[in-house]
Structure 1
Amino acid sequence: MEGICREDLLVIEKQIGRFPRNVRRVMKRCTYGFPVVIETFPVVEGKPFPTLYWLTCPFLVREISRLEEKGWIREFEKLIMTDLIFRERYIQSHSEIKKRRMNFTKDEFVKTKLSEVGTGGIRDLTKVKCLHLHVADYLAGVKNPVGERVLKMIKNYTCNLQYCAHELFES
C-alpha cells in the first residue's frame, strides 16, 4: 500500500471496524496525528471503485451521522435544486473528483465507468447520498460546498478528548 504505514492501517482498522482495503495514503490527520481522511485507489481488482476519499475519524462520523438523522441530506438536495451558484459549485466538485480518479488508471473501460459517476458513485448530481462522503472530499482539498457547510454546522470539528487515543486504544 503506497504511502501508508502499518501503524496507520491499525488505527484505521480500529476507526472503521474492519481492516482497510485499497488504501493509498492518509490525506488528512487530526491535531493528535490520527488519520481523518484516507485516499483509496479508484480501481479494485480491475473494477471501478468510485469513492476516492473516505472519512475514518469516529468523532466526525458520529457528528455527521447526527446531522443525517436530522434530515440534512434532504435539505442539501433542496439547496442544490434552488441555489444555482451552490449547484454549480457542487457539480464542479464532482468534476474535480472525476479528474483526480483518472490519474490512477490507463484502462479505458475503467476510465469510462469512473467518468459516468461523481463522488461515491453518485449518478444524479442533484443528489447527495451521504454527508460523510462530501466532508471527506472537502477535507482532502476538493472544493465541495456540501462538505464545507457540514463542517461549519459542526463548528468545532476537532475532538478535544483525543477520541482515538482513549476510545480505540484504552478499551
Structure 2
Amino acid sequence: MTPSPETRGISPGIDTADAAAVAAQLGRAPRAVCGVAHRCPCGLPSVVQTAPRLEDGTPFPTLYYLTCSRLNSRIGGIEADGRMREMTERLADDPELAAAYQRAHDAYLAERDAIEPLGTDVSAGGMPSRVKCLHVCVAHALAAGPGVNPFGDEALAELGEWWHAGPCARPQATDG
C-alpha cells in the first residue's frame, strides 16, 4: 500500500488522524515524524517530535517541530517585533538566564541523541548562545513542560491562550 501525501514520512508513533491534522496545519505532508510531543487544548497536535535524520539520511537537528498554524503565526508576530534580538542581548547581561538556556540546550541534545546521535553539539533555534527561532523555543517548552526552556516559557506567557478560538485546522477524514 502506498502512503497518502498526508501520511508519508510518518513513523508508527503517530496515527493517521494526527498525521492528517499535522498535514492540514502545515499545508504539506510532515517529514520524519516520530510522534506527537504536545497537544493543543483543542485536542490537535501542536508539536511533533521529529527524527534526527530525514528519510533520506539528511541530518535534521530540530527535534521538536511546532505544527499549530495559529501558534506559528502568533510567534511570527513576536519575532517580527524584534524580540529575539532583545532575548539574545539579555543572555549577555543575565548569567542565570544564560545558564538556564544552556541547560535547555543540553536537555534538547540529550533527548535528540537518545533517539539517534548526530555527532554534533548543534541543537536548534540558536541555543545556547542566541535566540534564532522562537518557534523552536516554544515547541521545546511545550514538549518538555514549563521550566525547561526559559525563552519558550516567556513567549508562551506573552501569547496567552492562542487556542481559545478553537482548532487551527480542520483535517480531512482519511480512508482506512
Same fold (TM over 0.5): yes
Q: Which residue of 2 aligns with 1:138?
A: 141
Of stretches 90-99 and 6-15 in structure 1, the one that deviates more from structure 2 is 6-15
- Pair 1:11-2:27 in alignment: no
Q: Which amino acid aligns with 2:84?
A: I
User: Distance between the aligned counterparts of 2:155 and 2:59, measured in 1?
Assistant: 27
Q: Distance in 2 between matches of 1:5 and 1:97?
A: 25
Report SS of the residue matched to 2:131. Answer: coil
Give 1:89's match in structure 2, choosing from 100, 107, 110: 100
Contact 2:42 2:166 in 1 (8 A): no
TM-aligned CA distance change 1:8 to 1:126, over 3 Å: same
Q: TM-score, normalised by structure 2?
A: 0.83
1:104 CA displacement? 1.6
Return the TM-score normalized by structure 1.
Answer: 0.86
Displacement of 1:48 in angstroms is 2.3
The DSSP-based 3-state class of the residue aligned with 2:118 is helix
| Counterpart mapping for 1:1-171 below 5 A | 1-44=11-54, 45-105=56-116, 111-113=118-120, 116-120=121-125, 122=126, 125-141=128-144, 143-165=148-170
Sort the Cα spacing of 1:86 and 1:30 in 2 relative to 1 into closer, same or farther, 3 A: same
Aligned-partner Cα distance in 1 for 2:57–2:69: 30
The gaps in structure 1 that reach 5 residues or longer are none
Q: Secondary structure at the match of 1:102?
A: helix
Aligned residues: 159
Residue 45 of structure 2 contacts residue 67 of structure 2 at CA under 8 Å; is this kept in 1?
yes
Q: Deviations over 1:5-57 (max 9, x none)?
A: 11111111111111001000001111221010000011223342110000001
Q: Give CA deviations for 1:101-134 in whole Å, capped at 9, x if unaligned.
A: 11122xxxx5323xx21234x4x72211111110
Give unmatched runs, 5+ long, in structure 2: 1-10
Q: Distance in 2 between matches of 1:28 and 1:111?
A: 24
- Counterpart Cα distance in 1 of 2:12 and 2:112: 16
- Shift, 1:59, TM fit: 1.1
Q: CA deviation at 1:92?
A: 0.6
Measure the CA separation in 1 of the matches of 2:136 and 2:48: 11
CA RMSD of aligned residues (A): 1.7
